[in-house]
Chains A and B, each alone.
Chain A
Amino acid sequence: QSALTQPPSASGSPGQSVTISCTGASSDVGGYNSVSWYQQHPGKAPKLMIYEVSKRPSGVPDRFSGSKSGNTASLTVSGLQAEDEADYYCSSYVGSLVVFGGGTELTVL
């Protein structure tokens, strides 16, 4: 159960767009449409932002979007806002198990 690979940090200025990658393998990210993304502010519980690669739960701004190409999934945050500063984690189904990425700290400059 190897963790998915995410960059440890990302940043952008307000109004800009930033993309966070999540790289796995054909046995996880590449093999299923079960990639999710979570946002976590310090001291808070994670919040689901994207599920099934590109779907947004009700209440999540459409500034957040997801995609996948091969074994790499991506989360794009457009029109960055100060409140987007948080840690972001991807996850994937792996044959009856779940694996998370190591997390990316997003800084809004």
Chain B
Amino acid sequence: QVQLVESGGGVVQPGRSLRLSCAASGFTFSSYGMHWVRQAPGKGLEWVAFIWFDGSNKNYADSVKRRFTISRDNSKNTLYLQMNSLRAEDTAVFYCAREGQNYAMDVWGQGTTVTVSS
């Protein structure tokens, strides 16, 4: 079945780096754009980044621009989020999601938790 599975979350100190992964299965990964969305504890959803199906174009929220990098490996059916210079306010559950029609996210992973704390 169509599935997205995130991994790589954990506890990290402020200023350090972390890389999240999102493994896709059950669909042709290389045909779809992909998003990262996060949710801070007790808060709403926040869009983080988007990458085109072929990786040729990437967009970021202002809050993560120049610190986070979205990438993908279509040969491995995997999406990545490289997070540098992490801050306490980056603490959140991070979801990867598939781009369906017209910027609608039609498939979501279960999320991976990132905690930034000293």
Q: Do A and B originate from a single complex?
A: yes
Q: Identify the A interface with B (CB < 8 A).
A: 1, 3, 33-34, 36, 38, 40, 45-48, 51-52, 55, 57, 87, 89, 91-93, 96-103
Known contacts A1-B61, A45-B109, A45-B111; decide if A100 and B44 are in contact (CB<8 Å).
Answer: yes
Q: Verify A48–B106 contact, CB threshold 8 A.
A: yes
Known contacts A1-B62, A98-B35; decide if A33 and B102 are in contact (CB<8 Å).
Answer: yes
Interface residues of B in 28-72 (CB under 8 A from A): 35, 37, 44-47, 50, 59, 61-62
Partner of A36 from B44, B104, B109, B110 at Cβ < 8 Å: B104
29 A-B pairs with C-beta separation under 8 A: A1-B62, A36-B105, A38-B45, A38-B105, A40-B45, A45-B108, A45-B110, A45-B111, A46-B45, A46-B95, A46-B97, A46-B105, A48-B106, A51-B101, A57-B106, A89-B44, A89-B45, A91-B103, A91-B105, A92-B103, A93-B103, A97-B50, A98-B35, A98-B47, A100-B37, A100-B46, A101-B44, A102-B44, A103-B45
Say what secondary structure dominates the interface of chain A.
Answer: strand
How many residues of B sit at the interface, in one of the four size bands? 20 to 34
| Residues of chain A within 8 A of B110, CB atoms compared | 45
Bound: A97/B61 CA distance, A: 7
5 other A-B residue contacts (CB within 8 Å) besides A52-B101, A97-B61: A34-B102, A40-B45, A45-B109, A55-B101, A98-B47
